[in-house]
Structure 1
């Protein structure tokens, strides 16, 4: 379904196209360029000038330094298998090595190893991609006792078997239509209330 003028999501800041439009306007996108991109558009085929712009306009935020940030996409409620993906199942996911067929980690869009969308990115629907992700880890209870402990963890831990980039999780999820975003927020709220 194509997003068009007036298709605004009432959350205005989450993983929706409305929030993307805010980023796009900061990046100098023409309104006609923005609305020419549908949720089905293969972003690898758009002109280089659009692909090289800030990916925050096109992809739902995957990282935040604030705990429990509602602007950041949280797929964990859907990974448990109790909440159906519904309309989210068709959302595009971009990753360089989602199935682990190649050596090296998978990267999304925006990290220093894959700053922009390119031919090396595969596109999968979220319904096909989600089972490839490891189950959500339990949140950390404390952190590090010292800077040296953090440095040792970062520098010396064996990460040879890790498939997913640590910067942005190794994948990028397209922003949601207003309907998809409403479904996501409703189902996530129900899941969090049940914990």
Structure 2
């Protein structure tokens, strides 16, 4: 847990307490909030101990978010970004990728086969992504990596890479990598995909949860059918078709 500052504003203290137990259901409006940019800004503020440093760190965070590759900011160089800023850029919270796995007979591993869409290019940073190099991969914020943040020699992967490979050797403590915080559009899709996956699991009788009221399901499916990312370039034709096809299938099940 991050150290608290005597100068932390009360509203941020309250917000941190609210988010500390992230056990929300997928239909909770705060689901996944810890992965997003807004939470990154709060992390930076909460880990900035001197009041006079807050404005500086927020400005540094805004500038650093424009980097295409965080390795170009090389934390190993003198005069690098404060650790508080790195916590605003990255999160060690794990993405739940269940909605994007293919359907199967394994209750715990079966997915809905949804497209990764805007999440495909989300960046992950690790100290080692190669199974040919000795040593487990760690998050650059892991204590085993001395919490040094991202340096030029780290490995960069994407969520699509993570889904395509099974040969990673990750640290059991940190999970092996840190995720670049999700943009608002990416976080919106992450939530929508989990909601659609939850509805599919319920209708298929795989969730172990009580069935949802039919009228509520129909309303929610209509809302999800209308979903589209802020940046349309992140939503290619095949992804959109796959998304809509899943919704059409679920509408048929509701109507049966």
- Category of TM-score, reference length = shorter chain: 0.5 to 0.7
SS at match of 1:187: helix
Unmatched segments (≥5 aa) in structure 2: 1-28, 49-53, 103-110, 202-256
Match of 2:181 in 1: 175
Match of 2:134 in 1: 103
Q: Is the Cα–Cα contact under 8 Å of residues 39 and 177 in structure 1 kept in the other structure?
A: no
Find the aligned partners of 2:135 and 2:70 in 1 and give their Cα distance. 23
> Which structure has more RCO (C-alpha within 8 Å, separation ≥ 6)?
1
Q: Could you say if the C-alpha distance between residues 96 and 46 of structure 1 is closer, same or farther in structure 2, counting changes exceeding 3 Å? A: same
Q: Is the Cα–Cα contact under 8 Å of residues 118 and 186 in structure 2 kept in the other structure?
A: yes
SS at match of 1:53: helix
Find the aligned partners of 2:198 and 2:129 in 1 and give their Cα distance. 27
Runs of 4+ in 1 over 6 A off after TM superposition: none
Give the counterpart of 1:50 among 81, 100, 125: 81
Matched, 1:92 2:123: yes
Give CA deviations for 1:24-72 in whole Å, capped at 9, x if unaligned: 122335222111123653222326442633743222342xxxxxxxxx5
What is the TM-score when the length of structure 1 is the normalising length? 0.65
Note the 1:141-180 alignment, pairs <5 A: 163-180=169-186
Match of 2:97 in 1: 75
Match of 2:64 in 1: 37
Q: Is the Cα–Cα contact under 8 Å of residues 45 and 84 in structure 2 kept in the other structure?
A: no
Q: Could you say if the C-alpha distance between residues 126 and 26 of structure 1 is closer, same or farther in structure 2, counting changes exceeding 3 Å? A: same
Q: Could you say if the C-alpha distance between residues 77 and 99 of structure 1 is closer, same or farther in structure 2, counting changes exceeding 3 Å? A: farther
RMSD across aligned C-alpha pairs, in angstroms?
2.6
SS at match of 2:156: strand
Find the aligned partners of 1:13 and 1:107 in 2 and give their Cα distance. 23
Give the counterpart of 1:119 among 152, 159, 176: 152
Higher-Rg structure is: 2
Give the counterpart of 1:16 among 21, 33, 36: 36
Higher alpha-carbon deviation: 86-95 or 107-116: 107-116
Q: Is the Cα–Cα contact under 8 Å of residues 39 and 174 in structure 1 kept in the other structure?
A: no
Q: Could you say if the C-alpha distance between residues 108 and 40 of structure 1 is closer, same or farther in structure 2, counting changes exceeding 3 Å? A: same
What is the TM-score when the length of structure 2 is the normalising length? 0.51
Report the alpha carbon displacement of residue 173 of structure 1 after superposing the two structures with TM. 1.1
SS at match of 1:108: coil
Report the alpha carbon displacement of residue 86 of structure 1 after superposing the two structures with TM. 0.4
Unmatched segments (≥5 aa) in structure 1: 1-9, 63-71, 135-161
SS at match of 1:56: helix
Task: Considering fraction of residues, name the structure with more helix.
Answer: 2
